[in-house]
Amino acid sequence: MTAITEPGVYSLPDEVYHADPVPGGSLSASGAKTLLRAPALFQWEREHGRPPKREYDLGHAAHKLVLGVGAELAIVDAPDWRTKAARQQRDEAREAGRVPILAHEHEQVQAMAAALRRHPVASKLLDPDRGGQPEQSLFWRGEENVWLRARLDWLPNMDGPHRPIIADYKTCDSASLPSVRRAVANYGYYIQDAWYRSAVDNVLGAQAAFCFIFQERTPPYLVTVVQLSEEAQAAGRRAMSRAIEIYRDCTESGIWPGYVGDYEIPEIDLPPWTDRYEEYA
Amino acid sequence: MTSNEITTRDQQPAGAQESALVLWAYEARQAAQVAMSLAKTSFVPASLRGKPEDITAAILAGRELGLQPMATLRSMDVIQGTPALRAHAMRGLVQSHGHRVWLVEQSPTRVVMRGQRRSPGGGYEPEQEVVWTIDRAAQLGLTGKPEWKKQPQTMLTARATGEICRLIASDVLYAMPYAAEELDGDGPAAAVRTSGGRVTAAEIVGDPAPQPEAASDPVQPEAAEDAELDWPEPAQPGGEA
């Protein structure tokens, strides 16, 4: 069992990173996002693990082909997961630490990787010749002396001729700017932005830039590369601080509340759009 | 939304509230015009330069605090997206409302400040004291930051100023409760420094990519550099600065 007790950059298998190798616990960006929804959800996921989701498998397979790292794929030769045999193969693959994927999905993911390699900017951002390492885990002590961790899809080279740019790859239904903007808000990608920049700053003493690479899961697998505005970055830093504070308080008290405290009875108002009905009443 | 819509929705005739809003909107437009002509001048701090919208907002926020536009621009900084008063401006503002703030002790390892809120009926409420030590700053992980290494005494004083001002006169500071120095690359919300401007495709595709120009760097606030020590040498302990 690997135990991380010193800040630094580590090459760890997925499962070691996700099981949190810091004795006493550490907080990741995705943990922070869950914690901000409700501490009880974070605590539950920490004890029980995250339920596997099909979209994660597809995203994971795309990562594997694009970045060349991550858990091995297990290609299941079936049209879908409806037959018992297919489901059994899927469960066995997960059991063995591999990522199950249907044959036609595997073709789809290969086409996605090819499309990504054709994109001039995205391909460069993830180009090993540019210097950098895929899937690196960073550990450090953040505010409040809390241990934090981050797993970067792509850790850029800090000493090269280029400004270091952290790149994070996401698969999505739509890579249009309005959709990407919604995704950044809904899935808390702005928190991830702050988290990873902080990781690189604290562990490597460098100020890196950050780009998200979004790719659609359907042909022609369009790619959109974006960076967050100064305001969005600041919102990420504020959310990060808040999450660390909540984590510290809950760890100290041993109490992980749900959406509201058990002894609180908040008064709620109608949502703002109901005003419109009053107007015509 | 126009003022007419507001009136219809609330089913009330144009009243005092609306005219205040209209007046404010008028002033905001005037401020925006002024901001356009100021945006490129050196009277504007680097964090606001070339950003007339931010200057407009700063002027309007300063007005709520009772500051003249040019005084606002000398007193304010936008630190990583958050507008903040500089510590000296915060102290001045609180003192201008009749509250007392003074320095008791000042060294690179320890700063003590006291303050007293003026009572509504005249006289003063009991003294409050704040102590900022280098240990406290180290505990928050601040002392590793360049500005703290360069001028620990100034940074401790700025922290103490922010804290004592919030303690005795938070009502004065509603619009801007934190001193720029508290947010400036050393505060809790600022554990991350940004990387020097937007990423461009040319930078990524070109080989080797051009480094971003220092001059176009919008994220290194100047406040830290010019957070000059504007405190007099400590007077007698307890004496008013």
**How far apart (Å, rounded) are the C-alpha atoms in residues B21 and B8?**
15
Of the candidates B83, B86, B60, B181, the residue with the CA atom closest to the CA atom of residue A234: B83
Which residues touch A179 (CB under 8 Å, ≥6 apart)? A172, A173
pLDDT of residue A53: 64
pLDDT digit string, tens, across residues B189-234: 333 344 567 888 888 887 554 444 444 343 333 333 333 333 433 4
CA B31 to chain centre: 19
CA distances, B146 to each of A17, A199, B119, B159, B218 (Å): 32, 18, 40, 16, 18
Nearest to B219 by CA among B81, B127, B118: B81
Is the previous residue joined to B208 through a cis bond, with omega within 30 degrees of 0? yes
B211 neighbourhood in chain A, CB within 8 Å: 163
Residue B52 in this model has a pLDDT that exceeds 50: yes
B154-173 tens-digit pLDDT = 999 999 999 999 889 888 88
Instruction: Let me know the angle formed at the C-alpha of B169 by B99 and B152, rounded to the nearest 5 degrees.
Output: 90
Residues in CB range of A83: below 8 A, 6 or more apart: none
**Would you state the pLDDT for residue A258?**
95
pLDDT digits over A201-250, tens only? 999 988 899 999 999 999 999 999 999 998 899 899 999 999 999 999 99
CA distance A17 to B187: 29
Rounded distance between C-alpha atoms, residue B67 and residue B72, angstroms: 6
Burial class (CB in 10 A: 0-12, 13-18, 19+), A82: exposed
At residue A173, the pLDDT reads 93
Higher pLDDT, B112 or A57: B112
pLDDT on residue A194: 95
Could you give the CA distance from residue A171 to residue A53 in angstroms, rounded to a whole number? 14
Give chain B's mean pLDDT. 73
3-state secondary structure A209-236: EEEEEEEECCCCCCEEEECCCHHHHHHH
Give B152 to chain A, closest Cα distance, Å.
Answer: 19
The pairing of strands A73-76 and A99-102 is parallel
| DSSP alpha helix (H) spans, chain B | 3-10, 16-38, 52-64, 69-75, 87-96, 134-139, 146-150, 152-169, 180-183, 201-205
Q: What interface predicted TM-score (ipTM) does this complex get?
A: 0.73
% of chain A surpassing 70 pLDDT? 94
What per-residue confidence (pLDDT) applies to A70? Answer: 65
**Range from B83-97, B180-194, B195-209 carrying the lowest mean pLDDT:** B180-194
Residue owning tokens 């000042």: B106
| pLDDT number for residue A76 | 86
CB-CB under 8 Å, A207 with B194 = yes
> Can you give the pLDDT at residue B7?
43
Determine contact, residues B209/B203, Cβ cutoff 8 Å.
yes
Q: So what's the pLDDT on residue B104?
A: 93
Which of A209, A238, A275 is the closest to B199 by Cβ?
A209
Select from B135, B195, B216, B219 the residue whose CB has the most chain A CBs within 10 Å, as the one to mutate to test that interface: B195
Q: Which of residues B52 and A149 earns the better pLDDT score?
A: A149
Q: Is the pLDDT of residue B12 over 80?
A: no
Tokens standing for residue A171: 């698969």
Q: Which residues of chain A, if any, have pLDDT below 50? A: none
Contacts of B203 in chain A (CB under 8 A): 162-163
Closest Cα to residue B61, out of B41, B44, B84, B79?
Answer: B84
Give, as one character, the DSSP assignment of residue A126. Answer: T
What local confidence, expressed as pLDDT, does residue B26 receive? Answer: 87
Residues of B in contact with A247 (CB under 8 A): none
CA nearest B146 in A: which residue?
A205
Which ranges of B170-231 does DSSP label H, i.e. alpha helix? 180-183, 201-205
Residues of A in contact with B185 (CB under 8 A): none
Q: What is the pLDDT of residues B119-135, one digit of tens each?
A: 887 788 889 999 999 99
